[in-house]
Amino acid sequence: MDCGKQIAKGGKAEGQSGGAGSGSAKLPMPAAGGAKGWVNGHSEPPEWQAQQKAAAQWQEVRTRSLEDNQMSLPSLEAAYSAILKGLGEDPERQGLLRTPWRAATTMQFFTKGYQEKISDILNDAIFDEDHDEMVIVKDIDMFSMCEHHLVPFIGKVHIGYLPEKRLLGLSKLARIVEIYSRRLQVQERLTKQIAIAITEALQPAGVGVVIEATHMCMVMRGVQKMNSKTVTSTMLGVFREDPKTREEFLTLIRN
């Protein structure tokens, strides 16, 4: 990956356009006395107000349960049957007899992130540790559904953070990616949600998240550019403020 120039200043998206970032964590409050800044001394990012407004969503409730899946399955199945008829197909022919049911259960799986909360997976996975060097987990596989066209986008997520004596179990970083990606998404929002969730959980000195993805809405339809990739990033804390820290992160995920 050669995304250093593309994202060196953080928070920039290349390729896919989408909705406004709607991160889902409670960000640190401004310093007392009205001065700008994070409570740990880092300067306030330009988009702080927008992120703070979105922060209330972090303590979200599940919007779907396993019971909901069972109750909604017949209506989803009927909807897919109607789609097949609308496409000129016969849902009663042998090859399509079970297709509406399969499609309905598949879509429920693709969006299973609505059944989970970030707090569920983090409660027992944060550890006090005398470590303040960068932690990076890269090449996390990501599968999500474009909310504009209901087709997949697929790629890799790279996460780095600079701990303040608190560590998160490494597998939980992948779980955070899984929960947010298994929802209807735009890549820009997904990138920010991951970064803010880690910030809320650990209060680290900084967090960096980079996502590289291929969007089927660009490959299979529209402009049909087979080799196009979209790169998005969110940089918080020292990853945004300190060029050396940011460059170290970008160099490590490239190599």
Residues marked active site are found at 146-149, 187, 215, 217
Q: How far apart are CA 187 and CA 168, in angstroms?
A: 24
Dihedral pair phi/psi, residue 101, rounded to 5°: -65, -45
The DSSP 8-state label assigned to residue 44 in this structure reads P
- Scanning 87-162, the segments in alpha helix (DSSP H) are 99-110, 118-122
How many Å separate Cα 52 from the centre of its chain? 17
How far is 151 from 146, CA to CA, in rounded Å? Answer: 6
Phi then psi for 111, rounded to 5 degrees?
-115, 30
Using only C-alpha atoms, the chain has a radius of gyration, in whole angstroms, of 20
Q: Measure the CA–CA gap between 13 and 145, rounded to whole angstroms.
A: 18
